[in-house]
A = this chain, B = another copy of it.
Amino acid sequence: MKLYDRGPSGNCHKVRLLLSMLGLEYEKESVDLGKEENRRPEFLRLNPRGQVPTLTDGDVTVWDSQAILVYLARRYGGEEWLPTEAVAMAEVMQWLAMSENEFLFGLARARQNKKMNGPWPWDLTSALARSGLAVINDQLEEHDWLALGRPTIADLACYPYVALAHEGEISLDDYPAVRAWMARIRALPGYVGMPGIGD
């Protein structure tokens, strides 16, 4: 298995977390966006969006962090990380959707704005981020995990950009239940850190 990866990417870290927690061996290939390696024809054949993470597993190629989490969970995780029963799967999917919305276009874009001079305005992205943080904080006041009372890909999808919030100058002071959940994630077997997130 090969993960096309970029160290500072929270989306890549979602995948690194699940690969590690599932105990899967894989090779990492770093894609240098500065050299536009992601726009080379051979990479665009793997992923027409020209993005990381992209995963190859034998003759299977999957792009997009959400799709890769679903792929790995279904192929290697049994029913544990993403069950197939309709209500349970939908519960996980709700928070995956939040990871793509409030957290990707909120937290991650605010971080890009502050850290990498990204173009999406900080006022809009940080407000969107805080609306999502408030929702998960409420959820996590009453539940240890976002869905199903156990760790699922919902938690792994939301975790990296939440843990990197400070790089977007968004404080987690108002979200104590979120901070407690982050500590629970860090205590899971197979947890790995990344730059900007404590180990």
A residues with a Cβ closer than 8 A to B are 48-49, 60, 62-68, 70-71, 74-75, 84-87, 89-91, 93-94, 96-98, 100-101, 104-105, 119-121, 124, 131, 135, 138-139
Q: How far is the CB of A46 from chain B (nearest CB, A)?
A: 12
A74, B89: Cβ atoms under 8 Å? yes
Q: Copies per complex?
A: 2
**Cross-chain contact of A138 among B48, B64, B65, B74 (Cβ < 8 A):** B48
B60 touches A87 (CB 8 A): yes
Of the candidates A89, A124, A135, the one having the most CB atoms from chain B within 10 angstroms of its own CB is: A89
Asked if B124 contacts A94 (CB within 8 A), the reply is: no
Contact of A94 with B63 in the complex, beta carbons under 8 Å:
yes
Contact A71 B84 (CB under 8 A): no
Assuming the contacts A86-B71, A135-B49, asked whether A64 and B98 have C-beta atoms less than 8 A apart, the reply is yes
Pair A64/B97 contact, Cβ less than 8 Å: yes
Given contacts A86-B74, A101-B104, contact A67 B48 (CB under 8 A): no
Q: With the chains together, A20 CA to B33 CA distance in Å?
A: 43
Tell me the bound Cα distance from A153 to B126 in angstroms: 31
By Cβ-Cβ distance, the 9 closest A-B pairs, closest first, are A75-B86, A71-B90, A74-B86, A67-B93, A100-B100, A64-B97, A67-B94, A66-B97, A84-B84
The CA-CA distance from A89 to B77 in the complex, in Å, is: 14
- In the bound complex, CA of A74 to CA of B91 (Å): 12
- How many angstroms from the CA of A120 to the CA of B84 in the assembled complex? 36
Question: Which among A64, A104, A138 has the highest number of chain B CB atoms within 10 Å?
Answer: A64
B93 contacts A85, C-beta separation under 8 Å: no
Chain B positions within 8 Å of A85 at CB level: 74
A90 to B93, alpha carbons, bound, how many Å? 13
